[in-house]
Amino acid sequence: MRKQVILFCFLPLLLLAQKNDVTDLWSGREQTLPGNGAWILAAEHGRILSSGNGDVKIHFPALEDGSTLDAVLTCGEKRQKVKFHSPKPLIGLTMVSDNTAGRRVSTLHRYGVGLLAEPPLAHPGALLVTSQWPNQFNNERILLFPDKRDFPLNIAGNRKEISLHCAKNPGSLSVLYDKKEQVLDLRGTFSYVVLRDGKRKVVVFTPEFDLDQIDNVLFIRQLAEEKQK
């Protein structure tokens, strides 16, 4: 009998940014951060980029593809490091699709992802983006974006290890695991679930996973750049 392990991880996705105490923001679009009183946004070398009073409303011009800009937001005595990202923060990444996750794939492509023209079977080493359980493919790294109608999702026989994670904005994933059933359902607050079986790694995202949030997009980049163990 195969040893099966369930790991419950409550670390938020936002730690991707918080580990260096940096707030990640888009360039080229307006964003609002909570504020109270006068505030100043300045580049690292001291040039004032923007200023105001009350809520921090920032619209930094779009950066070149794949580039970033570091700044410091000062509100009263509080200073917060800020990193602006280009509208295409995923430039340079390559993925393959089975044409089931059209909306997600279109968004990732808009953010700079290069899509391989051949089917997944021709690129087993590529990161696969799909909305259906990929039993017919042998890709070792898979991003699975199921719709609400796909749940409950049977995961029996597809993993030796399960870990559940929360992002900044809670999702609705839950796991039912007993002798009779091993399924993912929408009765919890988890944002994504990682299933591992040997070298194969499947990341299942909650239907609410928002690719409009820069933190989530950077997490996708982190997954894509991960070296296969």
State the burial class of residue 162 (Cβ atoms within 10 Å of its Cβ: 0-12, 13-18, 19+): buried
Nearest by Cα to 23 from 85, 69, 86, 80: 80
Residue the block writes with tokens 């940096």? 22
180's CB contacts (< 8 A; 6+ apart) are: none
Asked if 125 contacts 94 with a C-beta cutoff of 8 angstroms, the reply is: no
CATH second-level architecture of 28-85?
Sandwich (2.60)
Q: Profile the chain (229 residues) by mean pLDDT over runs of 10 residues.
A: 42 43 95 89 93 92 97 92 97 95 95 93 93 88 95 81 86 85 91 91 95 95 78
91 phi/psi in degrees, rounded to 5: -60, 140
Around Cβ 11, how many Cβ atoms within 10 Å?
A: 11
Could you report the per-residue pLDDT of 39-79, keeping only the tens digit for each? 999 998 889 999 999 889 999 999 999 999 999 999 988 99
Domain ranges of the chain: 5-13+89-225, 28-85
State the burial class of residue 66 (Cβ atoms within 10 Å of its Cβ: 0-12, 13-18, 19+): middle
Could you report the per-residue pLDDT of 98-121, keeping only the tens digit for each? 999 999 999 999 999 999 988 899
